[in-house]
Chains A and B, each alone.
Chain A
Amino acid sequence: MTGRSSLLAGLALALALTACRREERRFSEPQVLVARRERAVAPPSSEPVAAFVDNAWSVSEGQRLFGWYNCAGCHSLAGGGGMGPPLRDATWIYGGSPEEIHRTIVEGRPNGMPEFGSRVPDYQIWQLVAYVLSLSGRLRQDVEPGRPEAIALGQPPAMTYEKKPVPANKGTHP
């Protein structure tokens, strides 16, 4: 191999290595329920936001939890909105920064948004925040989750055929 092509190969390898960062995943998460007892003095989370927001694993986990914790019940699957406001657009009633979304989930908001801080561990709330951010296309494209298969809920439309009247004396065997 010439010096130039090995340099190119090395560069390509280095580029490929940078792609590994987005799939980081940890097994022992800090056991924190934020608003459980010290609701008034909710401590600022020690987790750097970027660890969740720049991480494909945590975004896809957030996608799963969005269904499991029934966020979809009010905001609809993929955040189109229903009983609750849509999460796909640029309108944010209580602020659209990661910290503000986190606060909304932890403490709840008037007119229907329940507080989840005493029920959902903090790291999962951050995963939900990451997923909510992805709904309005505000994440790096390579960490965004694929379209959920569950979006096609229900039966596919039934195939219907027009019944043509069978003419008499035709198509029948003697």
Chain B
Amino acid sequence: MALGLAALANACDYRRGALDPISPEALTIDILWWVFFWTSLFVLTGVLIALAFALYRGHARGKSSDTRAELTPDAALERRTERAVLAASALSVVILVALLVGSVFGGRALFRTPQAPLHAKVIAHQWWWEIQYQGKTDSDSVATANELHLPAGVPVDLELHAADVIHSLWLPNLHGKRDLIPGHTSHLVLRPTRPGRYDGHCAEFCGLQHARMELSVTVEPPEVFSRWLTEQRRPAAAPAAPDARRGAELFARGPCALCHNVVGSEASASAGPDLTHVASRPFLAAGALPNSPLNLRNWLSDPQAFKPGAQMPPTGLRADELDDLVAYLETLR
């Protein structure tokens, strides 16, 4: 039994889990979870032991006496039973009230929104995450997709929006779930402490590709974070290699520029993810594929094969055009 439990525990990837808290809020959830777990285990064990005891005693008595004796009330036994039921009920009430109080206070702690020096906007789309770090001016602002970078030790205020349907942002290591509702702005203040790579998911069924709507969360030391942000502010340079130049031309004149934005180029649409630094991201299409030139080429050739129902249509490009386009997109670091 213990071995089985250990094996199960090993099977869980703790890096992903809510049981590896890296913020005060996640720690609250973690503590609540374990309090509920041990209390439930204690109660379940008690109930099972009492049941086994009752079965054993009833069995032993059933052997010795006849039915008539069984039916005559035994005053002493009745009293004992009454006391046991009363005690168990009182204990249940006490435990439930204690759990309720813990749960209410835990919930209140989660909904506090402390002041945060850094602001970011998260807009959920079918089926990807748009992230914006607002600067003082427009050229200071950064737009990216499906990756959230956070400085360790600095509270970040996320402003949550939804573009189409109701989504829910769940960063298990950092906080509880918070819904993103069209036409309604909500907030989530994250206070990450430990640097590392973590995962986020959409936690509200939002359509066909709800399962492939992942968010990569990178918590890094503040100086690394500000380096990353500065890097993200840099507009894309015109590519030098001839194939990448052809790709850039195709991007601006072909189907891509109708939906996508690349800062520093002619493409400036906003329906799809911003691709200014697409090659530096960990994965494509919100976790559908790891980011590599080959995967990018496959994705471009037929997005619907990898993410059926996704809003990206087939591009209808020739093989040589795909090569040029991938060469261009790989320069967007």
Contact = CB atoms under 8 A, between A and B. Distances in A.
Interface residues of B, number: 19
Interface string B285-328: 00000000000000000101100110001111000000000000
B258 A31 contact: no
Contacts of B271: 68-69
A27 B309 contact: yes
Contacts of A123: 313
A120 B258 contact: yes
B316 A36 contact: yes
A51 to B, nearest CB: 17
Contacts of A118: 253-255
A29 B314 CA distance: 8
A121 B314 CA distance: 7
A69 B258 contact: yes
A31 B316 contact: yes
A33 B304 contact: no
A109 interface: no
A33 B255 contact: yes
Interface string B176-190: 000000110000000
A140 interface: no
A156 to B, nearest CB: 11
Contacts of B309: 27
Rank and list the top 9 A-B pairs by shortest CB-CB distance, nearest first. Answer: A31-B314, A68-B271, A31-B316, A33-B316, A27-B308, A119-B255, A121-B313, A119-B258, A69-B258
Interface of B: 182-183, 253-255, 257-259, 269, 271, 302, 304-305, 308-309, 313-316
25 contacts: A27-B308, A27-B309, A28-B304, A28-B308, A29-B313, A31-B302, A31-B315, A31-B316, A32-B316, A33-B255, A68-B258, A68-B259, A68-B269, A69-B258, A69-B271, A118-B254, A118-B255, A119-B257, A119-B258, A120-B255, A120-B258, A120-B313, A121-B314, A124-B313, A149-B183
